[in-house]
Amino acid sequence: MSLALVAIVLAICAGAVVAVSTRDSGAAAVGLAVSLVAAALLVEPLPSAAILGVRIMAALLVATIIRAALRGGPSQPSPLSWPAEALLATAGGVAGLGLAVGLAAIAVTAVPGGPGGPGPITPGGSVLPESAAITTMALTVAAGAALLAIGIAPLVHGRPGARRAIGLVLVTQAVLLIRIGIAGPAVELEEIARAALLVVSGATGAALAAAAAQAGGNASSGPGSGSISGSSDAADQAAPDGSRAAMAR
């Protein structure tokens, strides 16, 4: 087992926990950026410089878009606090790890020649050692399941705003990680499509957050506030008349 991959998975989960649980919008954006950049590095061996650059640039662009959306809206911290979110991420990671190990066992028994057969073949044509391939697959699926466990609640049950935007990005990244863990590395064209999908999800979440903030501002300055000001003006106008009546008496 590669310690670097384990450290990357821990960084993914820690960044996601910070993103969904903190009250500070800047810290939430930094946590999201750490999680997405670490997810771009969760592969063994590393892809070419061009593909790695596409992944990292997409992650940083999404974090920047979410940061701009968080700047004008209210803070929406997790109602469970960060220890509960961390426990939820751990549970999701353990479930994903078990799922990956089961799928790997099925794949090994399905290989002609049994467990002694050759390891999986990468898109480049090279044969990976069986233990290394299973470890990378298991950790990738575990990271995706952890992000899914953290992001699904704010996406489905969260209030419209920043928290839902972060949940949308985390669920999208989780699906992409699970796809890589189960089906193997993506080709170059799919890498571009993956990066575009992540950016679109970030832009969609930011647009929804901005719309929710604008709707809240319009509601605070709507007809209800006008009626309150109108009643206060009427009271101010009626006060001099009452004082004049008292003086006449």
The H helix count followed by the E strand count for the chain is 8, 0
The tens digit of pLDDT for each residue in 200-219 reads 998 988 887 777 767 665 55
Q: pLDDT value at position 239?
A: 47
Residue 5 CA to residue 135 CA, distance in Å, equals: 9
pTM: 0.71
Q: How many Å apart are CA 175 and CA 20, to the nearest integer? A: 18
Residue 214 belongs to what H/E stretch?
A: helix 188-220
Residue 216 per-residue DSSP state: H
Length of the chain: 249
Q: Which of 191, 99, 90 is nearest to 147 (CA)?
A: 90
Higher pLDDT, 187 or 177: 177
Over residues 108-158, the pLDDT tens digits come to 555 554 444 454 444 444 444 444 445 778 888 989 999 998 888 878 776
Q: How confident is the model at residue 10 (pLDDT cuts 50, 70, 90)?
A: very high
CB atoms near residue 20 (< 10 Å): 28
Which band of pLDDT confidence, cut at 50, 70 and 90, is reported for residue 235? very low
Residue 159: how many CB atoms within 10 A of its CB? 12
Q: How confident is the model at residue 36 (pLDDT cuts 50, 70, 90)?
A: very high
